[in-house]
Amino acid sequence: MFLFLIFIKSFWLQVLSGNYYFNLAESNRIKKEYLKAHRGIIYDCNGVPLVNNLFGFSLFLVQSELPKNEEQKNEVLSKVSSITQIPVEEFLEKLQNSHPQYLQPILIRTGISYDQAILLKINNLPGVRLEMDSWRLYLQGESFSHLLGYIGKISSEEYDNLKSDYLFDDNIGKAGLEKWYEKYLRGIHGQKRIEVDALGREKKIISEQPAVAGANLILSIDSKLQQKIYEILKEKIPHGKGSVIISNPQDGSILALVDYPSYDNNLFTGGIKSSDYNKLLNDERKPLFTRSILGEYPSGSTIKPIIAAAALQEKIVSKNTTINSTGGIKVGQWFFPDWKAGGHGITNVTKAIAWSVNTYFYYVGGGYGNFKGLGLDNLVKYFKLFGLGEVTGIDLPGEHKGFIPTAQWKKETKGNNWYIGDTYHLSIGQGDLLVTPLQVNNYTSAIANGGNLYSPHLVSSIVKADGTTENISPKLIRKIPVNSENLKIVKEGMRETVIYGSARSLNSLPVLVAGKTGTAQWNKNKPNHAWFTGFAPYDQPSLAITVLVEEGGEGSSIAVPIAKEIISWWFDNNKK
């Protein structure tokens, strides 16, 4: 019986479980070593690098491997602090945000010096890890932070979702272009299979699969323009908040996208301290907020070119239709004013755009007396055709779509009916209509180019590790169904805005500019938002510019001077 049992056990080990133990032995004999891929570089349209990869030692703490005894743990942290000159408070700050049994290494600091690394290795402290690592250096300062975003160590949630493609200590795009183009930038890790002896010493390399570097991105952004705009905003509104977007109307490519104020994205790439992060979060000017694509604001009078185009297309008015502006209109007990006391007199569509005549747009938007206006349904229809109420599709994460109010929405959310006064407010860009600066820039481009609404894009080409290039083609969202003659009339009104209207200070520029100012009321206790949107040169537009200054007051007083300085600089530095 005893021999029979030995035979059965031997049969089980050798035959039934042979593959299991063979694989176990193989896994002990074969060591895997990952070869990390270099992350792709991002360049501006002129080949100027905007980021760089740095390599060196990074310091990690593993919460679950630190001594459980509080006194012993503090001794370890004090020793690490004495070697690295990193305050113990910084360690405690990051540890308190993770669970005591958390197995994921917590990044403390990148760029540990060689001498510090040697001392840490010699001391071999529990819960302290030192790894060869790479991180980003963002080269162009705060003007690019919202656009580029930043990378950071992969979180436990991200790793659980993506672990088939990532290592536990990988970097991953967290915001901006770094996040949107993560799959291109990250590359593919390589791997070596190494035979080791019983002591774990390498004997020979069995196989090796080299890493594939991430692709490089070539942007449509001009870094000099981007930086110049940030400088101008810093000078004109040092304690203010704003956004400037410049695009090419002919294809939707973005030449500059600037949000002010901004932040230093290098703070994030090595693991930002809680104190620094809280300082950014608690700043009332919201430097982390990407106003260009996330901010939703009343459009003010920048909406009027759309309404003029709709009225012309629907034959509500012609170029020669005139309305007498006497200071406003009265409906029952309600008065809807012009911004100019006494009104603007006899007004046609181009003058209405140039002087932003509210009475004209009350008539064409909502109708008055025997004059039939567009009505709410047509207003909503054309707002949507020009790209409002939907994302533009720009290659940045988190874009907001703004908001177009409707009668049904008002009934369901406010419990009230839609009144003619709501239509009048909507017709001058007030009330509940909300737009993003990017949407305003995009429909301005569509007017400038004759009706093509493109999806804006920041990346013009992707250069892969094998040298092949993937060019990003313009993406047409739709051809807006407004005929060219009607758009031409709208553009004439925007040109007259500069010749004699609310943006006439731009008339001194050496290039012909067309545009529209806007002053958007949003809170009776706070200053209005200031807008300007326009394009140049008037006859052959190569630039569409949109300026928003939060709580800036009159568009003509602050947004137009900012636009003037930018346009002047751009054309002075890009003379053919």
In a domain, 306, yes or no: no
The per-residue pLDDT of the chain, averaged, comes to: 91
Within this chain, do residues 108 and 245 fall inside the same structural domain, yes or no?
no
What does the DSSP 8-state code read for residue 503?
A: T
Please count the structural domains in the chain.
2
CATH for 480: 3.40.710.10
Reported as a pLDDT band with limits 50, 70 and 90, residue 191 is confident
Within this chain, do residues 231 and 130 fall inside the same structural domain, yes or no?
no
Domain boundary among 106, 134, 162: 134
In a domain, 304, yes or no: no
In a domain, 69, yes or no: yes
pLDDT confidence of residue 199: 59
Within this chain, do residues 516 and 383 fall inside the same structural domain, yes or no?
yes
Residue 3 pLDDT exceeds 60: no
In a domain, 424, yes or no: no
In a domain, 347, yes or no: no
Q: Rounded distance, CA 129 to CA 76, Å?
A: 12
Q: Rounded distance, CA 217 to CA 131, Å?
A: 28
Within this chain, do residues 284 and 385 fall inside the same structural domain, yes or no?
yes
- Which runs of consecutive H residues, i.e. helices, occur in 393-483? 407-414, 420-427, 437-449
Range of the domain at 125: 51-134
Within this chain, do residues 396 and 523 fall inside the same structural domain, yes or no?
yes
Reported as a pLDDT band with limits 50, 70 and 90, residue 11 is low
In a domain, 159, yes or no: no
Identify the sign of the CA torsion 409, 307, 297, 142.
positive
Within this chain, do residues 412 and 268 fall inside the same structural domain, yes or no?
yes
Higher-confidence residue: 15 or 135? 135
**Whole-structure pTM value:** 0.89
Average pLDDT over residues 178-190: 95
Average pLDDT over residues 384-395: 98
Give me the catalytic one of 143, 262, 301, 460: 301
Within this chain, do residues 235 and 111 fall inside the same structural domain, yes or no?
no
Domain boundary among 92, 112, 134: 134
Identify the sign of the CA torsion 129, 135, 137, 138.
negative
Phi, psi for residue 540 in degrees, rounded to 5:
-135, 80
Within this chain, do residues 232 and 86 fall inside the same structural domain, yes or no?
no
Residue 24 pLDDT exceeds 60: no
Reported as a pLDDT band with limits 50, 70 and 90, residue 242 is very high
Residue 26 pLDDT exceeds 60: no
Higher-confidence residue: 423 or 154? 423
Within this chain, do residues 252 and 393 fall inside the same structural domain, yes or no?
yes
What's 283-331 look like in SS3? CCCCCCCCHHHHCCECCHHHHHHHHHHHHHHCCCCCCCCCEEECCEEEE
Domain boundary among 101, 134, 167: 134
Residue 21 pLDDT exceeds 70: no
Higher-confidence residue: 500 or 134? 500
| pLDDT tens, residue by residue, 421-457 | 999 999 999 999 999 999 999 999 999 999 999 999 9
CATH for 104: 3.90.1310.10
Residue 296 pLDDT exceeds 90: yes
| pLDDT tens, residue by residue, 64-82 | 889 999 999 999 999 999 9
Q: What does the block give as tokens for 209? A: 């699969």
Within this chain, do residues 454 and 552 fall inside the same structural domain, yes or no?
yes
Q: Which range is least confidently modeled, 122-126, 216-220, 323-327?
A: 122-126
> Is the separation of the CB atoms in 117 and 106 below 8 Å?
no
In a domain, 450, yes or no: yes
- Which runs of consecutive H residues, i.e. helices, occur in 152-294? 156-162, 176-180, 182-185, 223-236, 266-269, 274-282, 291-294
Reported as a pLDDT band with limits 50, 70 and 90, residue 576 is low
For the chain, the C-alpha Rg in angstroms (whole number) is 31
Residue 87 pLDDT exceeds 80: yes
pLDDT confidence of residue 94: 81
Q: Rounded distance, CA 66 to CA 529, Å?
A: 53
Q: Catalytic: 220?
A: no
Reported as half-sphere exposure (CB side, CA atoms, 13 A), residue 363 has a value of 23
Q: Rounded distance, CA 406 to CA 129, Å?
A: 58
Within this chain, do residues 127 and 238 fall inside the same structural domain, yes or no?
no
- Strand locations in 417-573 (E): 452-455, 459-463, 469-471, 475-479, 514-520, 529-536, 543-550
pLDDT confidence of residue 405: 98
Q: What does the block give as tokens for 408? A: 């049904």
Q: Rounded distance, CA 219 to CA 466, Å?
A: 19
Within this chain, do residues 455 and 558 fall inside the same structural domain, yes or no?
yes
In a domain, 339, yes or no: no
